[in-house]
Amino acid sequence: MANQTTSDLPEVIATDAAEVNTEVGHGGAPTHNEPELFGLAPFQIVSISMLVLLVFAFFGAKVHKTIAGGLDSKIAAIKEQLEEAKQLRAEAEVLRKEYADKIAGAEKDAEAMLENAQHEADAILEKAEADSKAMVERRKRMAEDKIAAAEREAVEDVRNRAVAAATGASRKLIAEKHDAEADKALADKLIAGI
């Protein structure tokens, strides 16, 4: 590689941040200056960073324990709420089943009440029909009795009128055709019959 010319080598552009040392080190190679931060070498920066990380981890562990404790308490509260929710759900299921049973019982009771009401209505209707038939029969008998009584009264009235008319006619006939002698003979006949 000694035969290479400077035109074959890659061109290096220097910046303000990096300085190229033209001193010759071991074997004729140029030496390189290490970058520095606040006057510290890279291994020192790494050591300080590790120390800061360890200090943060040590003191941060206490913060972590506080955060973890807070989270643990929240987790416990959430678990308690979940248990309470499960218990409430179980109670709600029991209540739902109880009300479903009550509704089913109420429906059966309503059906029984409806059936009883139907039977009572049928019985009332039958009784009303029987009562109305009995009332019609009573009224019919009463009307027949009234008609019979009216007929009897009419017959009695006709008889009485007939008797009165016959009596009146007899008197008139007797008065016209009987004289005092016929009356005396009739009276004697009656007396003799006694």
DSSP codes, 115-166: HHHHHHHHHHHHHHHHHHHHHHHHHHHHHHHHHHHHHHHHHHHHHHHHHHHH
Output the pLDDT for position 5: 55
Q: Name the stretches of the chain with pLDDT < 50.
A: 1-2, 14-15, 17-20
Looking at the DSSP bridge assignments, the partners of residue 24 are 30
Output the pLDDT for position 86: 94
20 φ/ψ angles, rounded to the nearest 5 degrees: -95, 125
Three-state DSSP at 179 gives coil
Distance (Å, whole) CA 161 – CA 157: 6
Longest dimension (CA), the chain: 216
84 φ/ψ angles, rounded to the nearest 5 degrees: -65, -40
Distance (Å, whole) CA 119 – CA 93: 38
Range list of β-strands (E), 33-184 = none
Is the pTM higher than 0.75? no
User: Is the distance from CB of 20 to CB of 12 less than 8 angstroms?
Assistant: yes
Distance (Å, whole) CA 150 – CA 106: 63
Output the pLDDT for position 48: 92
Secondary structure element (H or E) that encloses residue 4, with its range: none
Instruction: Give the tens place of pLDDT for each residue, 21-35.
Output: 555 556 666 666 666
